[in-house]
Structure 1
Amino acid sequence: MTEDLADAYAYCAELTAEHGRTYNLATRLLPAERRSAVHALYGYARHVDDIVDVTAVGDPDAAIRGVEEAHARLRAALAGDPGPPDATGLVAAALADTIEQYRIPVGYFDAFIRSMRMDVPGTPEFRPHYRSMEELREYMYGSAAVIGLELLPVFGVDDPAAAPAAAALGEAFQLTNFIRDVGEDLERGRVYIPLELWSAFGVDLDLLQEGRRTGVVDPRVRRALAHAIALTRAEYRKAEPGLHLLPARIRPGIRTAFILYGRILQEVERSGFRVLDRRATVPRRTRAAVMLTEYVTGSVRRH
C-alpha cells in the first residue's frame, strides 16, 4: 500500500471514530484487513452525508456541487486519478481501492448518490418528506440497503440468502436513526418517518414542531413512535438469520452493531419517546459490555 493510500484509509478511520460511535466500536472486532475496507465504506458515506447535512439547508447549491463532486471524484479514482488529497479525494481514493480489491458493484454507489440527491433542495430527486413506507424504501435502498450489500464481498459472503438479510439490516439501522433523530431532522426541514404513519395516529407537522419547541411528548406522538419501533424491530428479525451466514471471525463485530442499534430503540422507549428535543444514546458502559461479551463468545466458538 502506498503512503497516499495509507493516509486515505487513515482519514476514513478517523471519520468512523468521530461520527459513528456504535459502528466504530463494532469494527474493532473485525479482522484488521477487513476493518480498513469497512472504514472506507463508512468514510465515503459519512463524508457525502456531511456535505448534505451541513450545506443543504443554508446553501443547497453548494450541497449539490459537493455531492456531484464526490460522485465524480470516485469515478475518477476508479480510473486511477483521485485528484488532490483533500477530504473528497481521500475518501474517494480509499473507497476506489476497496471497490477494486473486493469487486463491489459500482452501481451500489450510484444508488447511494441518488438517495443523497433526494435530501438536497433543488435537485429533481428532492423530497423533504415521504408519504408512505413504499416511498421511504426507495430512499433507503440507496442510503441503507446498499450499505449492507456492499459489505458482503468485504466479508467474503456469497450465499444468496445473505443479500436480503444484509439489505434488511441496513434498513433496520437507518430506521433506528430516523426514530432517534426525529427532532434533529425536523430542524433541517426533513421528516423521514412516513406522513401516513404519523397521520394514522393523529400527528401532523405542527404537532411535531410543537414538541420540538416545548419538549412535551404528546400521547399521539408516543403511539406513532411505538408503531415505528415495532416496524423497525420487524426489520431486525428479517436480518437476524443473515448473522449466521457470516464467517466466524466477522460475526462478533456485526452482532455487536446489531445489538447496540437495537438498544437505541430501548433507550427511546425508556426516555418516554423524547426524541423531539433530545437524542437517545446507549450508555458507554453498556456498549463496552456488549462488545466484550461478543468478543468472548466469538472466541469461544472459534476454539
Structure 2
Amino acid sequence: MNALLREGYRRCARLTRAYGTTYYWGALLLDRAQRRDVYAVYALCRLADDIVDEPDRDHVGVPAGGTPVERLAAFRALFADAVEHGSDDPVLAAVGDSIRRRGTSLECFDRFFDAMALDLDRTTWATWEELRDGYMEGSAAVIGEMMLPVLEPLSPAAKAPARSLGLAFQLTNFLRDVAEDLDRGRVYLPQDALARHGADPSLRRVTPQWRALMAEQIELNRRLYAEALVGLDLLPPASRRCVGTALVLYSRILDRIEAADYDVFSGRHRVPATEKLAVLFRTLALDVPRPTLGPTTPTLEVA
C-alpha cells in the first residue's frame, strides 16, 4: 500500500472515531483489512452528510464554497472520479480503493447521494412508509448493503437483515436527535403518527401525547433490530462479533430515551465509553457471540 492510501485510511479511521463511535468500536473486532474498509465507507457517508447537515464544518477534500446543493453535487462527482481513476485526496483515494477491491455496487452510492440531496429539499414525511421508502432507502437501508461486501456474508440472504439494521440505526438517530433536527428545520417523525397521538415536537416538551408517540416509535425500532438479528447467523464469526456489538450498543440508546421519560429535548442520549468497553470485552470473551433480544436491550450470549 502506498503512502497516500495509508494516510487516507488513517484519516478515515480518525473520522469514524470522532463521529461514529459505535461503528469504530464494533469494527475493532474485525481484521485490519475489513476494519479499514468499514472506516472508508463510514468516512464517505460522514463527509456527504456534513455537507447537508453541517455546512460550516470544513473537511479536507470536500469542495468549499457554493451552496450545499452545489457542494454535494461536486463531492459526488469527485467520489465517482476517485472510484474510476483514483484521487490525489487521501480520503477519497482510500474510499475508491476500498470500493474497487470489495466490488461494492456503485448503484448503492447513487441511492445514497440521491437521499442526501433530498435532505436539502424535504423537511417532513407524511407516513412511515413514505419516510422509509422515499428517504431511508438511500440514507439507511443502503448503508447495510454497502457494508456487506466488507463483512463477507456466508449467504446472499444476509442482505435483508443488513438493510433492516441500517433502518434500525437511523430510526434510533431520528428518535434521539429530534431537537437537533428541529434546529435544522426538519422533522423525521411521520406526520400521520404525530397527528394520531396529538404530539407536537415543536413544543420541545414531554407530554402524555409525546410519550405515547415515542413509545410507538421505539416499539417499531425494536422490531427492526429483531429483524436484523436473523442476519447474524449468516456472517462469519468476526463479522458477527462486529455487527452484534454495534447492534447491542446502538439499541441501548432506546433504553436511555425511555429512562429519561422520552425527553430528547434536554440533551443527547449516549452510551458511555465504559459501557461500550464492557460490551466489547464481553464479546471478546465469548466464542461465537450472538445478541438475544429481551424486553428492552439486547444482550450478548453464546449461540
Q: TM-score, normalised by structure 2?
A: 0.89
* CA distance in structure 2 between the partners assigned to 1:234 and 1:115 by the alignment: 24
Q: Secondary structure at the match of 1:192?
A: coil
Please say if residues 264 and 281 of structure 1, whose CA atoms lie closer than 8 Å, have aligned partners that are also in contact: yes
Q: Tell me the residue number matched to 1:73.
A: 78
For residue 136 of structure 1, report the CA deviation from its aligned partner.
Answer: 0.8
Distance 1:264 1:35 in 2: 24
Structure 2 match to 1:245: 234
Going from structure 1 to structure 2, the CA distance change for 1:81 and 1:133 (only over 3 Å counts) comes to same
Q: Say which of 190, 211, 217 aligns to 1:222.
A: 211
Alpha-carbon distance between aligned partners in 1 of 2:289 and 2:151, rounded to the nearest angstrom = 20
Contact 2:245/2:279 (CA < 8 Å) preserved in 1? Answer: yes
Residue 191 of structure 1 corresponds to 187
Tell me how far 1:277 sits from its aligned partner: 2.8
How far did 1:6 drift? 1.1
Per the alignment, in what secondary structure is the counterpart of residue 276 of structure 1? coil
Structure 2 matches for 1:22-171, cutoff 5 A? Answer: 22-55=22-55, 62-82=67-87, 84-85=88-89, 90-120=90-120, 126-137=121-132, 138-157=134-153, 159-171=155-167
Q: Show CA shifts across 1:221-275 (max 9, x none).
A: 1110110000010101111010111101221111110001110000000011110
Equivalents in 2 of 1:119, 1:21: separation in Å? Answer: 23
What CA distance in whole angstroms lies between the structure 1 residues aligned with 2:65 and 2:178? Answer: 21
Q: Which residue identity is paired with 1:19?
A: Y
The C-alpha deviation readout for 1:156-203, integer Å capped at 9, x for no partner, is 225121110000000000000100001110110011111111111002
Report the Cα distance in structure 2 between the residues aligned to 1:100 and 1:49, rounded to whole angstroms. Answer: 22
Contact 2:127–2:190 at 8 Å: present in 1 too? yes
How far did residue 298 of structure 1 move? 3.7
Work out which of the residue numbers 179, 202, 209 in structure 2 matches 1:209: 202
CA RMSD of superposed structures (Å)? 1.9
1:200 aligns with 2:196: yes
Give the number of aligned pairs: 283
Distance 1:300 1:191 in 2: 37
CA contact under 8 A between 1:70 and 1:92: conserved in structure 2? no
Which whole-Å deviations, capped at 9, do the CAs of 1:77-119 have from their partners, x for residues lacking one?
122142x42xxxx332221111110100001001000000011
Separation (CA, whole Å) in 1 of partners of 2:111 and 2:130: 15
What amino acid maps onto 1:108 in structure 2? C
State the Cα distance separating 1:2 from its structure 2 match: 1.1
State the AA in 2 paired with 1:175: L
AA aligned opposite 2:4: D
The amino acid across from 1:62 in the alignment is T
Native 8 Å contact 2:65 2:71 kept in 1: no
Q: CA deviation at 1:299?
A: 6.7
- Whole-angstrom distance in 1 between the partners of 2:251 and 2:123: 26
Once the two structures are overlaid, the 10-residue window that deviates more, 236-245 or 293-302, is 293-302
Distance (Å, rounded) in 1 between the aligned partners of 2:172 and 2:65: 26
Residues 158/248 of structure 1: CA separation in 2 closer, same or farther (3 Å cut): closer
Query: Which residue in the other structure is 1:284 paired with?
Result: 273
- What amino acid maps onto 2:163 in structure 1? A
Query: Is this contact kept in 2: 1:222–1:273, CA < 8 A?
Result: yes
Any gaps of 5 or more consecutive residues in structure 1? 121-125
Aligned-partner Cα distance in 1 for 2:51–2:198: 34
